[in-house]
């Protein structure tokens, strides 16, 4: 499979191939005739009661989730669980603290990770997974500590030498790990 750079949405065309078992393979090159140009679609905005609302699908981002997870050594089921907990699959989500997009990247973190558009699902997921992978690695593969660091910050986890005693962070880690078990089935 070719190397894929996601610095900007127009950086390269993405090709996808569905194998006989239903596995999706992504590449920046058309490796054979079975590969087709992939154009992810952003869920449409639906108006209800005068307010725009994004129509969200739990499967809308599975292709990029699988690719990013495999590229950065993170279970795609875990990635999907983080997206569920962080943004409820809304690519335009903004938290009250300013985190943006599907994986709720803070603007400073997004900038450090080279994200031009935090609302672009490809950029947001790739950068968020790369960041999550680095946190899990820094905590010697401990998913709970990596998730706690993703939620509350690496320094906070180090200060408490474990999951911080914040109810919100403890609930977040528990919820993501539960969702992870559920979403693993989506990628088998």
Candidates 33, 86, 154, 168; catalytic one:
86
CA angle (156 as vertex; 151, 160 as ends), nearest 5: 120
Say if residues 104 and 82 touch (Cβ distance below 8 Å). no
**CB atoms < 10 A from the CB of 72, how many?**
18
Burial letters 147-183, b for 16+ CB under 10 A, else e: bbbbbbbbeebeeeeebbeeeebbebbeebeebbeeb
Cα end-to-end distance, the chain, whole Å: 20
86 is an active site residue: yes
Which residues, other chains included, contact 94 with Cβ-Cβ below 8 Å and sequence gap of 6+? 100
The dihedrals phi and psi of 104, each to the nearest 5 degrees, come to: 50, 60
DSSP string, 137-164: HHTTT-HHHHHHHHHH-HHHHHHTTSS-
State the catalytic residues.
Answer: 86
């Amino acid at each position: 499979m070719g190397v894929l750079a996601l610095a900007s949405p127009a950086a390269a065309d993405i090709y996808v191939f569905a194998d006989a078992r239903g596995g999706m393979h992504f590449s920046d090159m058309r490796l054979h005739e079975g590969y087709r140009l992939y154009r992810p679609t952003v869920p449409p905005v639906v108006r209800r009661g005068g307010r725009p609302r994004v129509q969200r699908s739990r499967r809308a981002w599975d292709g990029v989730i699988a690719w990013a997870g495999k590229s950065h050594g993170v279970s795609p089921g875990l990635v999907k669980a983080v997206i569920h907990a962080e943004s409820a699959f809304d690519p335009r989500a903004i938290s009250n603290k300013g985190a943006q997009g599907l994986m709720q990247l803070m603007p400073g973190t997004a900038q450090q990770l080279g994200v031009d558009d935090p609302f672009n699902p490809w950029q947001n997921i790739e950068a968020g997974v790369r960041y999550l992978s680095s946190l899990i690695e820094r905590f010697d593969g401990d998913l709970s500590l990596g998730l706690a660091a993703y939620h509350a910050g690496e320094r906070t986890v180090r200060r408490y030498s474990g999951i911080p005693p914040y109810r919100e962070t403890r609930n977040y880690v528990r919820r993501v790990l539960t969702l992870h078990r559920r979403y693993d089935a989506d990628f088998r």
